[in-house]
Structure 1
Amino acid sequence: MSKNLVVGLTGASGSIYAQTLINVLAGMDWQVELVMSPTGEQILTYETGITRTSFPENVHIHENTNLFSALASGSYRTQGMVVIPCSMNTLGLMATGTGEHLLAR
């Protein structure tokens, strides 16, 4: 069984770092559970030209608005989560537990 990691991508500049991490993990046969904020997805496309259809097969995209995603459950097992890049808004929501979307949950 391959390892899996949740990768969050928000609206901060620096989506090249997320792209690099995802490519490295995918190349090592990790399952990547990707959650992007709407602005994060726009900046990713602007900075790198990558769209949601450009990711390798072992990258599973979860909609940030889907609170019924398996990722929203505390019983869903992963190796961890990396939010890269992480906007200050998302960091604050995660720190206080007040988020109303999947990334901050």
Structure 2
Amino acid sequence: MKKILVAVTGASAMLYLQSFLEILQDEDAIVHGICSESGEQVLELEHGITPGKLPAVSKWFDCRDFAAAPASGSAGYDAMVIIPCSMGTLAAIASGITTNLVHRAADVMLKEKKKLVLVTRETPLNRTHLQNMLTVHDAGAVICPPHPGFYLKPETLEEAALTFSWRLGDQLGLHMKNRKRWGEEG
């Protein structure tokens, strides 16, 4: 059983978060979460809900709690996904600055050589954003901007988000029984 940490920061793209957590709900995985204060604000603005109303997450940690399990490599998470990942969070991770539990947990994943996937959400990108992306990539993270797979012909925003969520699931090695792939019929 995989143990996955999902972090939410203050960038627009909560549609992708919802879709990804729905996939995790159907997987054989333990899912824990951390939500930054700005993440809570954007989640409320875009979906009118609090983190506790999201699917799949069995435990939420306070973003200010440095004594929480994700602050230590001994917590045994297999992977962490930051969805969406703000440019401020990206910058903190790239700089090794750990001012909250999201930053610290990401730092732990990198030092433990565990899978860290950043669903970066900003456009257009400036030079600093790009340099920070390269820095975290070189440290071992995966940069995975939320780009749907339109070749699967999604008909709604939710279906488009699902095509991207499948890509995230692939990054984590999930089995996803209903996952559609390029070149497969049905």
Deviation at 1:46, TM superposition (A): 1.4
Distance in 1 between residues matched to 2:18 and 2:44, nearest whole Å: 11
User: For residues 50 and 42 of structure 2, what CA distance do their matches in structure 1 show?
Assistant: 10
How big is the shift at 1:63?
A: 0.6
1:58 positional shift = 4.4
Unaligned runs of 5+ in 2: 105-186
Contact 1:26 1:59 in 2 (8 A): no
User: Rg larger in 1 or in 2?
Assistant: 2
Cα distance between partner residues in 2 of 1:101 and 1:45: 20
Structure 1: unaligned runs, 5 residues or longer: none
After TM superposition, what 4+ stretches of structure 1 lie above 6 angstroms from structure 2? none
User: Are the aligned partners of 2:34 and 2:62 in contact in 1 as well (CA < 8 Å)?
Assistant: yes
1:60 partnered with 2:45: no
1:40-79 map, 5 Å:
40-56=39-55, 58-79=57-78
Superposition RMSD in Å: 1.5
Question: 1-side partners of 2:46 and 2:55: how far apart?
Answer: 19
In 2, are the aligned partners of 1:31 and 1:60 still within 8 Å (CA)?
Answer: no
Is it true that 1:93 corresponds to 2:96 in the alignment?
A: no
Structure 2 Cα separation of the partners of residues 28 and 52 of structure 1:
19
Shift of 1:53: 3.0
AA matched with 1:67:
F
Code of the residue aligned with 2:78 in structure 1: it is Q
Q: Contact 1:35/1:64 (CA < 8 Å) preserved in 2? A: yes
- SS of the equivalent of 2:74 reads coil
Q: Is the 8 A contact 1:29 1:58 kept in 2?
A: no
Give % identity.
38
- From the two aligned structures, give the one with the greater helix fraction: 2
* Aligned position for 1:22: 21
* Aligned residue in 2 for 1:103: 102
TM-score (norm: length of structure 2): 0.52
Shift of 1:50: 2.2
Matched residues in 1 for 2:6 and 2:77: separation? 11
Count of residue correspondences? 104
Can you list the C-alpha shifts for 1:1-57, whole angstroms capped at 9, x where unaligned? x32211111001101111111121022242211111101111112111222331346
TM-score (structure 1 length as normaliser)? 0.89
Cα drift, residue 66 of structure 1 = 0.4
